[in-house]
Amino acid sequence: MHKTNGDGTVEAEEFFIQTPFFRFAAKRWGNRNGLPVLALHGWLDNAASFDGLAPYLPDIHLVALDMAGHGHSDHRPPGVKYHYLDYIDDVIAVADALGWEKFALLGHSLGAGISSVVAGSFPERVTHLVLLEGIGPMTKEVDNVCQSLSRSVLQMKRYLDKRTVVYPDFETAVEARVKVGDMDLESVRVLVQRNLIETEAGLTWRSDPKLKAGSPLYMMEEQVTGFLNGIVTPTLLVTADKGLSKRFLRMKARIACVKNIRQQVLTGGHHLHLDDPEPVAKLVAAHLI
C-alpha cells in the first residue's frame, strides 16, 4: 500500500526502469497489487505532472514516467531526434521491464496522443485508457511535408549550438515557465522542481533542448484515424472547457473513431489534472476501478 508523509500527503517512490536502450526515471504510488497504470505526461513536462492525482488513486498501482529527454530520464543520443513513433517503443519497453503483460494507460496532452497509438496498436495489452486533453497525435497536411522536414533539420542544427539558459534561483526559473503556459503557479512549481539541475553557473533545465525541434515527419489525419479505430479498450476522455482541445477542430471526428469512449468536460485549463486534481481523479477512479 502507499506510504504517507507526516502532513498526510502520499509519498511517492522514486525509481529507475532499465530497458535495452534507455534508463527511464519514474515515480510510483498506490497498491502494488492493484491495477497497473502507466502515466505519460505532456511535452516538456515530467512525472510530477501526476503528483496531484496520485493521492486520490490509492487503490491502483500508478507509475508515472519521465519520458525520454524529460525529467531524470536519459536523453536520446546526440543527433537523434525525438520522433513521435519512438515513444511507442519506449512505452512497450517500459511495460516489459516492469513485467506488465497487461496494463492501463493514463496520458496527458502528448502523453494522451502516445497512449492512443499504443492502445490502438496493442489492444491485447491495454486494459483501460484515460486521455486527458488529447486524443491521437498532431498531424500535418500533405502540402506541408517538405516544409516540416526542412524546418526540423535546421532546428536540430541550431539546438546543437544553442547555449543552455541558466537561472540564478528557483523562482526565476518558475517565472520563465509561467510565461509559456496557462497553468496555476503552484502547478508550475511542481513541474519545474523536477526539471532543474544545478551547475556551477546556476540552475538550468534537465530536459533535452532537442525536444523543441519539430518532428521531421508528421502523421496524416487518415493514419491517426487508423490508430483510433484500433482502440477497443474502454476509454475515458477528459477535456477542459478552457483547454487546448477546445480549439481542436477535429476533436469530434476523432472521438467518433473510438468504439467505446466516454467524454467528460471539466472546468479548467490544459493542466486541469494538476491545477485541480480531485474532480479529474474522481472520473479516473470510476473508470479504472
Residues in a beta bridge with 238: 132, 264
Number of H helices, E strands in the chain: 9, 12
Residues in a beta bridge with 37: 62, 104
| 95 vs 200, higher pLDDT | 95
Q: How many domains does the chain have?
A: 1
pLDDT for the residue 158: 83
Edge to edge, the sheet with strand 235-240 lists 13-18, 23-30, 61-65, 36-40, 103-108, 126-132, 235-240, 261-266
- Which structural domain range is residue 69 located in? 3-142+219-288
Secondary structure (3-state) at 24: strand
Residues in a beta bridge with 149: none
**Would residue 52 count as lying in a domain?**
yes
Task: Find the mean pLDDT for residues 136-150.
Answer: 89
Q: Tell me whether strands 61-65 and 126-132 are parallel, antiparallel or unpaired.
A: unpaired
Cα diameter, the chain: 57
pLDDT for the residue 156: 87
Angle at 190 between CA 189 and CA 196, to 5 degrees: 75
CB-CB contact of 87 with 115 (8 Å):
no
Give the helix ranges, DSSP H, for the chain.
86-98, 110-121, 145-161, 170-178, 185-194, 221-229, 251-257, 272-275, 277-288
Q: Which three cell numbers stand for residue 43?
A: 511535452
Task: Find the mean pLDDT for residues 58-86.
Answer: 95
The catalytic residue positions are 109
- Terminal Cα distance for the chain, rounded: 16
Task: Find the mean pLDDT for residues 104-115.
Answer: 98
Task: Find the mean pLDDT for residues 58-68.
Answer: 97
**Would residue 159 count as lying in a domain?**
no
For the domain that residue 12 is a member of, what is the CATH number? Answer: 3.40.50.1820
How far is the C-alpha of 30 from the C-alpha of 3, rounded, in Å? 8
| 286 vs 1, higher pLDDT | 286
Long-range CB pairs of 262-267 (<8 Å, 24+ gap) are 262/235, 262/236, 262/237, 262/287, 263/237, 263/238, 263/239, 264/236, 264/237, 264/238, 264/239, 265/238, 265/239, 265/240, 265/241, 266/238, 266/239, 266/240, 266/241, 267/240, 267/241, 267/242
pTM here?
0.94
How far is the C-alpha of 147 from the C-alpha of 144, rounded, in Å? 5
Tell me the helix, strand and coil percentages in the chain, rounded to 5: 40, 20, 40
pLDDT level of residue 233 (50, 70, 90 thresholds): very high
**Would residue 152 count as lying in a domain?**
no
Q: How confident is the model over 244-282, as pLDDT tens digits?
A: 876 777 899 999 999 999 999 999 999 999 999 999 999
Residue 105 has pLDDT above 80, yes or no: yes
CB-CB contact of 17 with 94 (8 Å):
yes
**Would residue 281 count as lying in a domain?**
yes
145 C-beta neighbours (distance < 10 Å), count: 14
pLDDT level of residue 10 (50, 70, 90 thresholds): low
**Would residue 181 count as lying in a domain?**
no
Q: Which three cell numbers stand for residue 230?
A: 484500433
**Would residue 174 count as lying in a domain?**
no
**Would residue 242 count as lying in a domain?**
yes
**Would residue 262 count as lying in a domain?**
yes
The average confidence (pLDDT) of the chain is 92
Residue 188 has pLDDT above 90, yes or no: yes
Q: CA nearest 114: which of 89, 93, 144?
A: 89
Q: CA nearest 94: which of 58, 118, 123?
A: 118
| 246 vs 42, higher pLDDT | 42
